Amino acid sequence: MRNSTLLLLTIVVLVLLLLFVPVRPPEERVEGSETSESPSDKDREISILVSIWGMPWEDALFKDYYCREFERLHPNVRVRFIRLAGDMVSKYMLWHIRGDGTGADVLRQHTGSYLRLVDAGVNEPLDGYINHPETGIDDLNDYIPETLEAMTVNGRLYGLPADLNTVCLLYNKDLFDAYNREHTDSPISYPTNDWTWEDLRRAAKALTVRKGARTEIYGFDFMRSSGEFNAFLLQAGGRIWNEDKTRTLIDSPEALEVIRFWKDLTTELQIARPSAMRDTAMGPDKFFQFGKTAMLIDGTWRLPDVLLQAPGMRFGAVCMPRHRRAVSVGGSTLWAISSDSRNKEVAWEFIKFVNSPENLHKYWDMLWVAPPSRLSVLFSEKFKFTSGLARNGEVFIPGFPRESFEDLAGWMLEALSVNPETGKRRVTLEDASRYGELYARRLQVALDRIFLPESTYDPETELRRCAEDINLEISQKLRARGD
């Protein structure tokens, strides 16, 4: 009996240890956290951990330049580094807020999950640091105002924006030129920032090449995803959310107009592929790179990729075609301080460092996946050419010379300038919401059903059900919070 009792107690103790001893997730790999430290590492007084997400070669900027240069400027600080992938970004940040200071001090985030992380208490309010008389900053007016507005929660900032990405219309000049050589009496000009939906439809119809039942060149293609849907919806004059962003409004006539326009392109005119093939290696971007699509709607991040993957292609980019409104959705990456950090002051110094005009230009010059968030960088001469990124003789991101600026990035200045008639920029972050991830997930299911080959699903019914499901889940979350 006594032996059985001892055995039972031993098992209970082991179970409790397994439950309460912190274990680092297997996906996490911290650069610089090896047990064998150099003498110089041991002599340093402060260590901070920076978490980022992105492609491995971007370490050349974030780790090899930002972290090492900050260490050079602050000899008593050691900067450790972790790169997260996919859905681990939010999971890691939520998992590490447990009060023991073992998580990252500096967090690179995105507006897509930012508000949810703020609600969860992940981010430290920055107002006290920004307004500090000695270590604060006085140049917030240099940031694109819309990015700061998107990061303001109940009057407080919980992150500083680093960039503002958006979507655009890419076009293959060679396919336009080939068409014009054969149709001298009815040529089609290259797209401009003033194009409309009707201009897009007309050009895509003309540029589509068929041989029998087979389509050899599609005039236009795009991803059937929530991001593109949001952009078209706003252009149609619709709204994504109500005023406090607790109810979606996508069961609207404007939303149905977007679906019908997409259906017209893919089914009736057959000038865009019926399936965007989101989950394969042959998505719309690949067809564009292979010269099989004349025009493509995609993000700013696609431009350097096309230049790398299709170096012989002559292509350009312009703002998204407009409808009732000239508008496009955007997203912003940002830097935040973990509320669990034991070195918040040093973390703040690091954020100031990476968000300086010089280092935001470095970000654009090396990666150019999205225009920087600071106006002084965006409207500078240095913005008009890039160096790109190469390591050990291998080019990961090609740069572009000054003479290619208008073709590749000139449209960004148009999209991010204030329209004197409306007083607004073309790029908006009004789709950002603490329920954005829920919205995108539910909407994608509805879009996939609507655009299945030979789909019999009624678009109006699907949009209504989607809105009802989203709003029901939001109301349940609000009740659980006591709101």
**Any idea what the CATH number is for the domain that residue 299 is in?**
3.40.190.10
Per-residue pLDDT band at 19 (split at 50, 70, 90):
very low
DSSP string, 25-76: -TT--EET--S---HHHHH-SEEEEEEEES-GGGHHHIIIIIIHHHHHH-TT
* Cα(404)–Cα(267) distance, integer angstroms: 36
Check residues 79 and 21 and name the one with the higher pLDDT. 79
389 located within any domain:
no
Residue of 86, 118, 92 whose CA lies nearest to 30: 92
Task: Report the C-alpha gap between 432 and 88 in whole angstroms.
Answer: 20
> Residue 135 domain-assigned?
yes
pLDDT digits (tens, 9 = 90+) for 315-344: 999 999 999 999 999 999 999 999 999 999
Q: Which residues of 264-274 are buried (b: 16+ CB within 10 A; e: fewer)?
A: ebbeeebbbbb
Mean residue pLDDT of the chain comes to 88
Assign 12 a pLDDT band (cuts: 50, 70, 90).
Answer: very low
Note the Cα 208 to chain centre separation in Å: 30
Helix residue ranges per DSSP H, 382-458: 405-408, 410-415, 436-450
pLDDT, residue 62, reads: 95
Distance between CA atoms of 194 and 202, rounded to whole angstroms?
Answer: 14
Q: Do the beta carbons of residue 414 and residue 426 sit within 8 Å?
A: yes
Domain boundary among 352, 367, 384: 384
Most confident region among 35-39, 84-88, 434-438 by mean pLDDT:
434-438
Q: Is residue 183 within 8 Å of 310, Cβ to Cβ?
A: no
Q: Is the pLDDT of residue 23 over 90?
A: no
Residues 262 and 369 in one domain: no
pLDDT of residue 481: 81
Verify that 155 and 48 share a domain, yes or no. Answer: yes
Query: Given phi > 0 = left and psi -120 to 50 = alpha, else beta, which region is 257?
Result: alpha
397 falls within a domain: no
**Is pLDDT at 212 greater than 90 in this prediction?**
no
Q: What is the dihedral of CA 168, 169, 173, 178, to 10 degrees?
A: 170
- Residues 216, 137 share a domain: no
* Last residue in a domain, options 366, 384, 402: 384
Q: Say whether both 132 and 221 belong to one domain.
A: no
Residues 290, 214 share a domain: yes
Checking if the pLDDT of 28 tops 90, the result is: no
Spatial distance between the Cα atoms of 325 and 479, rounded to a whole number of angstroms: 36
Token look-up 């994608």 returns 444
Cα separation, 19 vs 36, whole angstroms:
29
Kindly tell me the sign of the dihedral angle through the C-alpha atoms of 321, 322, 327, 329: negative
Q: What is the pLDDT of residues 80-132, one digit of tens each?
A: 999 887 666 777 777 666 566 678 999 999 998 899 999 999 999 999 999 99
CB 30 within 8 A of CB 61: no
Q: Is residue 4 part of a domain?
A: no
pLDDT of residue 452: 84
Asked if residue 311 and residue 246 are part of one domain, the reply reads yes
Confidence check: pLDDT of 383 > 50: yes
Residue with tokens 């009802």: 468
Domain count across the chain? 2
Range of the domain at 207: 166-330+429-481
Residue 27 has pLDDT above 60, yes or no: no
Residues 304 and 435 in one domain: yes
The DSSP letter of residue 441 is H
Classify residue 3: in a domain, yes or no: no
Confidence (pLDDT) at 141: 96
The answer on 171 and 51 residing in a single domain is: no
Instruction: Give yes or no: residues 111 and 241 share one domain.
Output: no
- The reported pLDDT for the residue numbered 453 is 78
CB contact set of 310 (below 8 Å; sequence gap of 6+): 289, 290, 291
Asked whether residue 284 falls in the same domain as residue 380, the answer is: no
Assigned domain for 392 exists: no
Mean pLDDT of 391-417: 96
Q: What mean pLDDT is predicted for residues 451-455?
A: 82
Give the 3-state secondary structure percentages of the chain, helix then strand then coil, rounded to 5. Answer: 45, 20, 35
For the stretch 186-204, pLDDT in tens is 999 999 999 999 999 999 9
- Looking only at the bridges linking them, the beta strands covering 156-157 and 152-153 are antiparallel
Residue 87, in any domain of the structure: yes
Residue-level pLDDT at 37: 36
- Note whether 149 and 186 are same-domain residues: no
On whether residue 420 sits in a domain, the answer given is no
Same domain? 274 vs 342: no
> Where is the domain boundary, 349, 369, 384?
384
> Which has more confidence, 8 or 145?
145
CB neighbours of residue 343 within 10 Å: 19
Is the pLDDT at 246 greater than 70? The verdict is yes
Q: E strand or H helix at 146, and its extent?
A: helix 145-150
